[in-house]
Amino acid sequence: MGLFDQILGAVANPNQQGSMSQLGGIINAVQQMSGNAGTDSSTMQTIMSIVGGQVRSALQDKQANEGPDAVQNIVSQFAGNSHNPDAVSSLFSGGMQQQVAQMASQRTGVDANMIQQMLPMIVPMVLNFLQSGASTSGGGNSVLNTFLDSDRDGDVDIADAMRMASQYMGR
């Protein structure tokens, strides 16, 4: 899996920002959010996958319209494991937030309002995952580039990468 390999490479590379503690923090936050929402891990993975796909589309649009620096700035500014509504509004209009929540609700059966309330936690975590590939010296970001899938083969899923990271860390 390309994205997961990039993440592991970033964790192992001292010149990139990824670390085991960063991955552990993301995984713990996802597990806590799943518990708080009363969902099982499979349902939360589906929600993460849907939101991750929409984040990917939004970042691809930003990259096409504003360039790669604008995308890296969003990732740098909003990556984290805490509630941040600004992260969501930097990528999605209010109407798009509702659409994302509706899509996830239709696939999971979780109330769309609950999913919309979770977006300010999910989006920063997805961006935090992507931040792991950023260079410590201000260069490129291999994880972000893989996530945006420049060859357009569609072989990217944030939930799969998170699940593999969790298994890798024994959680």
* Residue 13 is assigned to a structural domain of this protein: no
* Residue 25 is assigned to a structural domain of this protein: yes
C-alpha dihedral (33, 39, 45, 47), degrees to nearest 10: -80
Contact in structure between 107 and 145 (CB atoms under 8 Å): no
Contact in structure between 73 and 79 (CB atoms under 8 Å): no
Tokens read off for 69: 């620096």
* Residue 159 is assigned to a structural domain of this protein: yes
State pLDDT tens for residues 94-138. 899 999 999 999 999 999 999 999 999 999 999 998 999 898 887
Q: How many domains does the chain have?
A: 1
* Residue 144 is assigned to a structural domain of this protein: yes
State pLDDT tens for residues 129-159. 899 989 888 778 888 888 886 555 544 567 6
